[in-house]
Amino acid sequence: MAGFNYSLGRSNNMVSAESRGMITIGRWSKKFKVSAAAASYVMQPREAHHTGTGHTGKSQLTSVIDEATNPTDEQLLEMRAFDASSSVEKSAAPLRLESCVARYVEWPGRAAKRRFPTECIARLDSVLIYADGKIMAKRSDSDGITTSWEKKSGLVIAQNGRVCITKNLNDRFDDAIAIAQRICK
C-alpha cells in the first residue's frame, strides 16, 4: 500500500498502522515522560513509516509502536537512565583545538550550469568539538567570524600535519592523512 496521503501528511502505510492502534514513538514516550530517543533505544520498535508533509519533500521515517504497550519497570528505569546520561554528554565542556587548518568542499548554487566542487582551505584560530558532534570554528581573519562547519562536505581539520577531525569524506576519493599533510605545508 505504498504512496503518500497528502491530506493527512503521512504515508498510506502510516495511516494503515494508525488504524491498527499504532502511534509514533514520540507520542508514546510523552505518556511516560521520557524522550523519544530513549524510547526508541530501549523499546526497539520494529516498524517505521513516513510522516510529515510529503509534497514539500520533507517527510521523515518515524518509528511507531503499539499504543497499548506498557514498559516494564526495568525498561522505564533504563529509559530514564538513558535520558540522564545523554543530558550529561550534551552539557559536557567541548574539546578545544588551537591554530588548525581546515579543508572543505563547497558546491556552487543550483543555478550554475556545471556543478564542480571547489576546495576551500581556511586557517582557524580555534575549533570547538561538542559531544553531539557539532563543530564550531573561529577563523583567523581580522573580523573574528564564527562559522559552523557541520554541513560542509569533505571536511578535514588538521594540526601540524596530523588529522584532528574528518567529517563527510568520500572514502573512495578522499585520503584524510594525505589531505592533512598537504594543507599543513
Q: Are residues 144 and 178 in the same domain?
A: yes
pLDDT in tens, 20-38: 999 989 899 999 999 888 8
Q: For position 21, what pLDDT does the model report?
A: 92
Domain boundary among 89, 122, 137: 89
Q: Are residues 106 and 156 in the same domain?
A: yes
Q: Are residues 179 and 99 in the same domain?
A: yes
Q: Are residues 32 and 106 in the same domain?
A: no
Q: Which positions of the chain have pLDDT values less than 70?
A: 1, 53-59, 87-92, 109-115, 131-132, 140-147
Domain boundary among 42, 70, 89: 89
Burial class (CB in 10 A: 0-12, 13-18, 19+), 107: exposed
Q: Are residues 109 and 137 in the same domain?
A: yes
Report the alpha-carbon distance of residue 67 to residue 165 in Å, rounded. 42
Q: Are residues 42 and 19 in the same domain?
A: yes
Q: Are residues 165 and 111 in the same domain?
A: yes
Q: For position 119, what pLDDT does the model report?
A: 85
Question: Is 163:100 a contact under the CB 8 Å cutoff?
Answer: no
Residues of the domain holding 100 = 95-183
Report the domain count for the chain.
2
Helix, strand, coil percent values for the chain (each to nearest 5)? 30, 35, 35
- Edge to edge, what strands does the sheet with 22-24 contain? 4-5, 10-11, 47-51, 60-66, 22-24
Q: Are residues 104 and 168 in the same domain?
A: yes
Q: Tell whether pTM > 0.85.
A: no
Domain boundary among 30, 64, 89: 89
